C-alpha cells in the first residue's frame, strides 16, 4: 500500500509537471464548492479577502463610505507597491490562492471577496458586508504594509490589526471582542511559530496593533483576522513577499493559524523565543537549519510540510530531480494538500516550476 501511494503521488506530480499550464488555469477556475466533504475542516467556511484590487476602472476610490464609527472614509485605495515593483494586490492575491487551495484540501469551503487580480473587488464597507452575509466561521483579510515610497529597511515584521473596542455595531462588537480577538492571536502565534518576526513599528505589541480607522474591522459581523504580512518598503521583506517561495511560506503559516482557530487548537509559539528589542529589525522567516537542505520531515504533516518541500523543488535541476524529491520527501505529505498547493505554485510561476 505504501508503494502504491508513493507511485500515485509521483503519477500526480508527473502529470502536473507535464501539463503545468492546464493545472494553473484550472486553479482559479475551480469552484469553492469542490472542497472535499471530509477532512479536518469539513463543515467550516472561510471568507478570504485579498486586499485591494487589480483595477479600479469605472469606480471612484475616494467615494465616501461608512467607516463603522459614524464617520466616512475613502471607498478603497490602490494598495502599496513593493521595493522591486510588485503590487500589493498581486501579492495578496497569490497568497490567498495558496491559502484557499490548502484550506479546501483540508475540507473547508472557501469564499473570496474578489474573483481575480485584474478587476474590481469592492469598497471596504462592501467587503465587510459580503463577509458578514456569508455566515463564514472566519474572515481573513490579507494585506502587506508600506511605510515609505522608498526603501525603509528599519521597519519590518508582520502584525494583525484589531479594532478599538467597543464597536458601535453590536453584532460586529460581539464578533470582534470574542472570536476576532482569538483568531487574531491564533494567527499571530502561527506566524511566530513559522519564524516570522512581529513588527517593530506602528505601535504593534507582540504582533497586534489596535486601530479605530479600519472600516473592515469595524463593520465585519463575523470573527475577522486582519493580517499585514510585512513591510513592502523593507527590501528584504519585499523580496520574500514578492517571491513564490516566500508567498508559500506565508500561506503555510496563515493556513496553520486558520486551521488552529477553526479546529479549536492553539498554534504553539516557541515560548523561549525572545522578543526583539525596540528598534531591532525582525528577520525574514528563519529556522535553525535551512529547510531547503533538511531531509527530515518527520515532525511535519500535511500543509506544514509543504514549505520545505517547495524549497527543495525550487532548487531541483531537472524534472527528474523534482520527481525524485516528490518520491522521497513528498510521500510524507498529504497527496490532496500536495496537489492543491503545487497547482497554485505552478500558476504563480507562470505555468512551470523554476527548474
pLDDT tens column, 131-190: 999 999 999 999 999 999 999 999 999 999 999 999 999 999 999 999 999 999 999 999
Q: What is the C-alpha to C-alpha distance for residues 88 and 160, in angstroms, rounded to an integer?
A: 16
pLDDT score at 125: 98
Residue-wise pLDDT for 74-97, tens only, equals: 999 999 999 999 999 999 999 999
Q: Which CATH number fits domain 45-274: 3.40.309.10, 3.40.630.40, 3.30.930.10, 3.40.225.10?
A: 3.40.630.40
**Per-residue b or e along 39-64, where b marks 16 or more CB atoms closer than 10 Å to that residue's CB:** bebeebbbbbbbbbbbebeeeeeeee
228 catalytic, yes or no? yes
pLDDT above 70 coverage of the chain, percent: 66
Secondary element (H or E) of residue 28: helix 20-29
Q: From 40, 25, 11, 19, select the one nearest 116 (Cα to Cα).
A: 25
Predicted confidence at residue 245, as pLDDT, reads 84
Q: Compute the average pLDDT of residues 111-119.
A: 97
Q: 93, 192 in Cβ contact below 8 A?
A: no
Which of 104, 228, 237, 304 is flagged as catalytic? Answer: 228
| Chain mean pLDDT for the chain | 79
Determine contact, residues 301/332, Cβ cutoff 8 Å. Answer: yes
Residue 345: pLDDT over 70: no
Decide if pLDDT at 207 tops 80. Answer: yes
Q: How far is Cα 186 from Cα 265, in angstroms, rounded to an integer?
A: 9
Q: What is the pLDDT of residues 32-68, one digit of tens each?
A: 444 446 789 999 999 999 999 999 999 999 999 999 9
Alpha-helical regions (H) of 264-350: 306-314, 319-328, 335-348
How confident is the model at residue 324, as a pLDDT?
74
Enumerate the domain spans of the chain: 45-274, 296-354
Average pLDDT estimate for 217-224: 99
Q: Is the pLDDT of residue 355 over 50?
A: no
* 314 confidence band (pLDDT: 50, 70, 90): low
Q: What is the DSSP letter of 176?
A: I
pLDDT at 25 over 90: no
pLDDT value, residue 320: 72
Confidence (pLDDT) at 299: 37
φ/ψ of residue 197, rounded to 5: -90, 140
Residues in the chain: 355
Q: Which of 18-32, 175-189, 291-305 has the lowest mean pLDDT?
A: 18-32
Residues 6+ apart with CB under 8 A from 264: none
* Mean pLDDT lowest among 202-211, 232-241, 345-354: 345-354
Global pTM reads 0.74
Report which DSSP code applies to 281: -
pLDDT at 195: 94
pLDDT higher at 315 or 188: 188
Amino acid at each position: 500500500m505504501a508503494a502504491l501511494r508513493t507511485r500515485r503521488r509521483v503519477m500526480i506530480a508527473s502529470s502536473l509537471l507535464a501539463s503545468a499550464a492546464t493545472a494553473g488555469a484550472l486553479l482559479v477556475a475551480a469552484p469553492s464548492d469542490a472542497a472535499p466533504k471530509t477532512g479536518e475542516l469539513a463543515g467550516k467556511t472561510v471568507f478570504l479577502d485579498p486586499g485591494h484590487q487589480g483595477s479600479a476602472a469605472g469606480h471612484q476610490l475616494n467615494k465616501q463610505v461608512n467607516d463603522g464609527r459614524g464617520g466616512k472614509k475613502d471607498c478603497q485605495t490602490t494598495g502599496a507597491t513593493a521595493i522591486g515593483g510588485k503590487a500589493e494586490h498581486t501579492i495578496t492575491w497569490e497568497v490567498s490562492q495558496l491559502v484557499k487551495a490548502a484550506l479546501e484540501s483540508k475540507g473547508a469551503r472557501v469564499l473570496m471577496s474578489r474573483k481575480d487580480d485584474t478587476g474590481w473587488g469592492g469598497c471596504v464597507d462592501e467587503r465587510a458586508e459580503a463577509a458578514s452575509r456569508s455566515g463564514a466561521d472566519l474572515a481573513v483579510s490579507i494585506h502587506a504594509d508600506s511605510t515609505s515610497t522608498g526603501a525603509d529597511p528599519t521597519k519590518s515584521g508582520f502584525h494583525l490589526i484589531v479594532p478599538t473596542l467597543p464597536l458601535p455595531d453590536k453584532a460586529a462588537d460581539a464578533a470582534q471582542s470574542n472570536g476576532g480577538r482569538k483568531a487574531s492571536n491564533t494567527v499571530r502565534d502561527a506566524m511566530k511559530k513559522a519564524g516570522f518576526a512581529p513588527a517593530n513599528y506602528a505601535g504593534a505589541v507582540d504582533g497586534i496593533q489596535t486601530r479605530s480607522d479600519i472600516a473592515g474591522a469595524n463593520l465585519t459581523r463575523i470573527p475577522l483576522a486582519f493580517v499585514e504580512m510585512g513591510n513592502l518598503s523593507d527590501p528584504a521583506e519585499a523580496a520574500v513577499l514578492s517571491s513564490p517561495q516566500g508567498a508559500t511560506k506565508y500561506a503555510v503559516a496563515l493556513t496553520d493559524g486558520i486551521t488552529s482557530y477553526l479546529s479549536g487548537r492553539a498554534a504553539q509559539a516557541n515560548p523561549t523565543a525572545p522578543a526583539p528589542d525596540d528598534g531591532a529589525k525582525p528577520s525574514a522567516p528563519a529556522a535553525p537549519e535551512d529547510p531547503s537542505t533538511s531531509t527530515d520531515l518527520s515532525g511535519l504533516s500535511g500543509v506544514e510540510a509543504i514549505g520545505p518541500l517547495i524549497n527543495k523543488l525550487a532548487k531541483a535541476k531537472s524534472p527528474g530531480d523534482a520527481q525524485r524529491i516528490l518520491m522521497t520527501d513528498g510521500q510524507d505529505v498529504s497527496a490532496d494538500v500536495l496537489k492543491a498547493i503545487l497547482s497554485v505554485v505552478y500558476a504563480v510561476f507562470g505555468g512551470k516550476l523554476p527548474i
